[in-house]
Structure 1
């Protein structure tokens, strides 16, 4: 006669899961938004948020001073990807004037400022912001 193997009880399964060490995935250096809120640019530099909802004048001044610009077109926090603008595009944005941050019942745009350890500035433009011909 063949004996069947006994299945573990629910409490045995729970104990086994609790005893298993939790694996923490390494942080990615890919461009985009990390789980901790930092943003990684295409060159691998990390930026931390320093100001949320800055004015269009402050954003224009930062871009004129050489800030990097990234756009989150849907406003999801960058989790579906960011569009990165190069130096030439940012210069065209500066020439176009201040951005128009739209805030209505159905539209909510914002610009946040991030800084890297080396002092570089990144502007994260989210959703409904018009800036020249680049953001609309």
Structure 2
């Protein structure tokens, strides 16, 4: 499915900038994947592959989120977290997903935290805690 999504979806820079502007002005959290546009063929291809019609919206959101994070630049990611250019440190997180037989997806416990180009070998966090760190709560 991810291969199909890469073929049919693209990050829309105009929508990304608009969401970023709204976030800065109003402190409104918008779903990042709304900045990703997919053509109509993707839904058709997914439905053709399996009988997932009742889950199609959820599947599309997850695919758009994956595409968002695969196509966003480091500068765009920093901006989405409110960091100014030339910040003091860069953080990269490498997550792994498990696709189950029923085509559901789980987050693997194996992941890497990379700060300023160096992997953190003594990381004691759980993968779900790392993801929670992406979302700013107010």
Q: TM-score range by the shorter chain?
A: under 0.3
TM-score by length of 2: 0.20
The structure whose RCO (Cα within 8 Å, separation 6+) is larger is 1
Larger radius of gyration between Structure 1 and Structure 2: 1
TM-score by length of 1: 0.20
Tell me which protein shows more helix as a share of its residues: 2
